[in-house]
Structure 1
């Protein structure tokens, strides 16, 4: 595992040099994926790495797990509360669509969660531009295959060091890096809304997804569900579609 960690750190360093940038930053949620990236960027760029905490509907002091991560990684960080800009944007959109009678209440919770992710992405790039840094993502192989990320939200990044790591490998790397045990054992959640968990949202456990990605047999229903989710989310893994030249 130490070899893999060193490889990823060197890869990050190489990509920053190629882009003629100064360093890297990552949005810290308090989950295991962003924790692993936080530890990686600190090792790769001890003096030119930054964690960014972007709470919505929470205060900075309530971000206990995210704060635990940056403290354990000894990572410089800043916090920007986005509740007000999110609320203003969301409410403006809702009012305009409501006035037309077009507001879709069936999908409003998920659309709100996606808007939060995209607002965080825009904020990360604004901060990164200030420091001449690249934005590092936190998606792993399971999330990439299933499309379990917001297009141009948490999927909108410059570098994705964990993209080929299964969830079990992310956990192993977290232990090797010294990520706090409370973070390693935390139930995975994108914090889309209160009480939300990744596995409930996906309908398949990460263990089953990892087994599938390794080519092992899993329940037929779960396998078909994963394949269908992969098919439906293919557009998320591609550059914007364009027609052939006329």
Structure 2
């Protein structure tokens, strides 16, 4: 794999750049702060830390949004992050909202992907309910790796006002988190979207984040062909091709909904 790690000086530059970005987005919207969904994972943990640094703890509202498939460990970690940062937070159960959706459309019962995405979209609705009520922005927690392959729910965790860590590959997220003082236990934690039971990101993606980051940096964001990327990284061409396919199929998630071109 290729080394995408930052130097100490670069880490501090990223830290200052991202905190400045958060402040600028909130100021530009004349908002009173930020709302962040806390999952107990490294992405939301780093985003919360940087948002507190940018805005002050009193101006960051955390939401812990458990569902029946959420692990007690992750929800406990999410609350611990809020407590350690001394930000106000609320715990709101998501499953009653999902149950009401399935009661309205029972045909989707048992469809793991549809129900899992409904959970993500229910969380987005709650984020915006609180943000609108408090005149805040919803600050997203998506990273560059997951955005590139569409590993997020459209109008779910992708429904936010800004993505402060959206320019960082997953490995860089972990590195910056360590730099700002996040515990090693959280920084090295197995990533999961928890849309259904026992889900992990890498199992669902079918590739480790180290491999994914390297393929994205050299082939998707970089100039190398599939064959050259496979040789450099010592992986199968089929793996590179599959990542390429995920990138191309998920383009609709990264762009605004299309409309026809205007008539002359």
When normalised by structure 1's length, the TM-score is: 0.91
Aligned length: 237
**Residue matched to 2:41:** 31
Unaligned runs of 5+ in 2: 1-10, 219-228
Q: 3-state SS of the aligned residue for 1:69?
A: helix
Q: Secondary structure at the match of 1:165?
A: coil
Q: 1:58 to 1:208 in 2, by over 3 A?
A: closer
The aligned residue for residue 138 of structure 1 is: 141
Distance 1:58 1:209 in 2: 26
Q: 1:44 to 1:188 in 2, by over 3 A?
A: same
Question: Does 1:171 pair with 2:188?
Answer: no
CA shift, 1:136, in A, is 0.7
Matches within 5 A, 1:1-246: 1-46=11-56, 47-57=58-68, 63-94=75-106, 97=107, 108-215=111-218, 217-218=232-233, 219=235, 220-246=237-263
Q: Secondary structure at the match of 1:214?
A: helix
Q: Residues of 1 paired with 2:195 and 2:179: CA distance?
A: 28
What CA distance in whole angstroms lies between the structure 2 residues aligned with 1:226 and 1:237?
16
Deviation, 1:59, is 8.9
- Asked whether the equivalents of residues 137 and 157 of structure 1 are also in contact (C-alpha less than 8 Å), the reply is yes
TM superposition shift of 1:66: 0.7
- Structure 1 residue 60 displacement after superposition: 11
Distance 2:247 2:143 in 1: 14
Q: CA deviation at 1:10?
A: 0.9
Q: CA deviation at 1:213?
A: 2.3
CA apart distance, 1:61:
7.4
CA deviations on 1:46-66 (whole Å, 9 max, x unpaired) are 121111111112799772111
Report the Cα offset of residue 20 of structure 1: 1.2
Q: Report the TM-score when normalising by structure 2.
A: 0.85
CA drift of 1:104 comes to 8.5
- Give the SS at the match of 2:35: strand
Larger mean CA deviation between 28-37 and 17-26 belongs to 17-26
CA-based RMSD: 1.8
Partners of 1:60 and 1:33 in 2: how far apart?
17
| Structure 1, unpaired ranges of 5+ | 98-102
